[in-house]
Structure 1
């Protein structure tokens, strides 16, 4: 199983240094998220600073906050900059983020994302005219990108949590990226069946294997002749000789999501409804969303993160074997001072290096 890294840095220079360290440790892909930084700008910095054996992806960029055409142009530029190493990871985000933060439409998100992918692929294919009618539409005539593409096809990954969005990823994308809190049991019982349902709707592609997508590989599931598909699990990974310290570093990550109403049903079904209620109450009382870890019991940290000694974390990684092609690991950073995040990231990279 490939180990990917979502590097952290207080400055862009530090972020680039962390990506180089991940490359030296043997990571397969470095992923650039979009929350406090622009995912495409970060991906450009990572691509320019790393070598040809390391993939670079957006993990994830917001799909609705930009026009599909601008997203396609950014992807083409990044694929050129990286020498064919770029992976376009897209996700919808939640309604409030789109509408209140970005003034973006969010209605019918599954159909909207389907149209977004179709338009991006049409723009990257370079035809004239470019026409697509749907929840998102485009009509472009008399335009062609005058620069030769690095590859015939840039791989597109979709993030998804609900069954319809996950199935869409299986149907229209080249890969799926997990939410940061996605334990192996959820991957096995809920995600894989939805992905396979989507994959079953894919029409065989006569160009499979010849389009230069690398190193995306088939997980061994899906119809014969269908384009390879990359299943990328994700986890906050906190490594320390003292497992209690490791768990406390990761607890704020779980606390952040426990305070968000969108995840209440998921946590409630796992028996953590009371914890979520307490986190939400604390948030409404004025506590920072990234500093709720003291409300999170160890069993909840263990359920949703990889935290403990190096040996304990290696054992947890093995639980993803056969369920994912890769796992995107990120150091704990929520509510922690920068020096502690640096230490946690160094231990994470040591763990990656010990495996690769």
Structure 2
């Protein structure tokens, strides 16, 4: 199973340094999220800062994930083509819808019918990347381009597209129209086995290509003291426990009361990334990989046979920069030892 990394950096230069360390440790892909930074700008920095030499280990570069509806599909396609050129054919376009509030309140983007809209988004991106004149797609989202052709030769015939998804319809869509699926940060092996893989297989049954990359994901907190490791990761779980969209998932696992406490703390003014003290160790263990190096290696091994790769990120929510740096160094040590 491939180990991927979502690197952290307080500055872009530090982020690139972390990506180089992940490359040296043997990581398969470094992924650029989109929350506090622009995913495409970060991916460009990672592509320029890592090795393009085809005779050596070449780490992949991906957006994990870029927002699909906050940009036009054509602009997304052009960014993907540019990044594939910049990276020497190492780019993977990871897209996700985000939630309704993020699209509407943060970006002024509509969020109606997300599944068919994402289907159309992928179709338009593929049409633009394929070239040709005219470029026409009719659907929930349409495009009609005449008299335009990208005058630069592509690095390769096909740029892989990955879709993030949580609900069964979105996961099945990924299986049907994408080249890979990227997990949410909270995706334990049981969730992958019991709920995600059946939906992916249903989508793959309708797909034309047999090749597909399943990328699990987890916050990975490594420390010689497992109690310290859990406490570093607890804010990640606390953040999601306070979000109404995830309440059903936590309630089904027996953590409904914790979610209620986290939501109440948020309403009273607590920052969303500071709720880790409300999260019991059992909940941290259920949704993150936290513990000693040996414990973390065992937890990563539980994904074997369920995923082709796992995207590991250091704990960062609500932690001072120095502590995140320490946690990331321990994570990279772990990647190099597996």
TM bucket (normalised to shorter chain) is over 0.9
Q: Is 1:174–1:227's contact at 8 Å kept on the other side of the alignment?
A: no
Give per-residue Cα distances to partners, 1:242-280, cap 9 Å, x unaligned. Answer: 000000000000000000000000110010000001000
The corresponding residue for 1:336 is 319
Residue 280 of structure 1 aligns to a residue whose secondary structure is helix
The corresponding residue for 2:305 is 322
The corresponding residue for 1:190 is 195
Residue 272 of structure 2 aligns to a residue whose secondary structure is coil
TM-aligned CA deviation for residue 87 of structure 1:
0.1
TM-aligned CA deviation for residue 227 of structure 1:
3.7
TM-aligned CA deviation for residue 113 of structure 1:
0.3
Q: Does 1:347 align with 2:334?
A: no
Residue 94 of structure 2 aligns to a residue whose secondary structure is strand
Q: Does 1:169 align with 2:169?
A: no
Residue 299 of structure 1 aligns to a residue whose secondary structure is helix
Q: Is 1:157–1:169's contact at 8 Å kept on the other side of the alignment?
A: yes
Structure 2 portions without partners, runs of 5+: 53-57
The corresponding residue for 1:72 is 77
Q: Does 1:82 align with 2:87?
A: yes
Q: Does 1:34 align with 2:34?
A: yes
The corresponding residue for 1:110 is 115
Structure 1 portions without partners, runs of 5+: 204-225
Which of these residues, 248, 271, 282, is aligned with residue 299 of structure 1?
282
TM-aligned CA deviation for residue 101 of structure 1:
0.4
The corresponding residue for 1:10 is 10
Using the alignment, how far apart are the partners of 1:137 and 1:41 within structure 2? 26
Residue 319 of structure 2 aligns to a residue whose secondary structure is coil
TM-aligned CA deviation for residue 351 of structure 1:
0.1
- Matches for 1:196-275 after TM superposition, within 5 Å: 196-203=201-208, 226-275=209-258
The corresponding residue for 2:51 is 51
Q: Is 1:33–1:39's contact at 8 Å kept on the other side of the alignment?
A: yes
Give per-residue Cα distances to partners, 1:28-66, cap 9 Å, x unaligned. Answer: 000000000000000000000101310000000000000
Q: Does 1:283 align with 2:288?
A: no
Using the alignment, how far apart are the partners of 2:207 and 2:48 within structure 1? 35
When normalised by structure 1's length, the TM-score is 0.93
Residue 151 of structure 2 aligns to a residue whose secondary structure is coil
Which of these residues, 127, 130, 133, is aligned with residue 125 of structure 1?
130
> Which runs of at least 4 in structure 1 moved beyond 4 Å after TM superposition?
none
When normalised by structure 2's length, the TM-score is 0.98
Using the alignment, how far apart are the partners of 2:285 and 2:40 within structure 1? 32
TM-aligned CA deviation for residue 337 of structure 1:
0.1
Root-mean-square deviation (CA, aligned residues, Å) is 0.5
Using the alignment, how far apart are the partners of 1:91 and 1:277 within structure 2? 27
TM-aligned CA deviation for residue 133 of structure 1:
1.2
Using the alignment, how far apart are the partners of 1:227 and 1:12 within structure 2? 37
Number of paired residues? 333
Residue 290 of structure 1 aligns to a residue whose secondary structure is helix
Using the alignment, how far apart are the partners of 2:142 and 2:210 within structure 1? 26
Using the alignment, how far apart are the partners of 2:287 and 2:35 within structure 1? 21
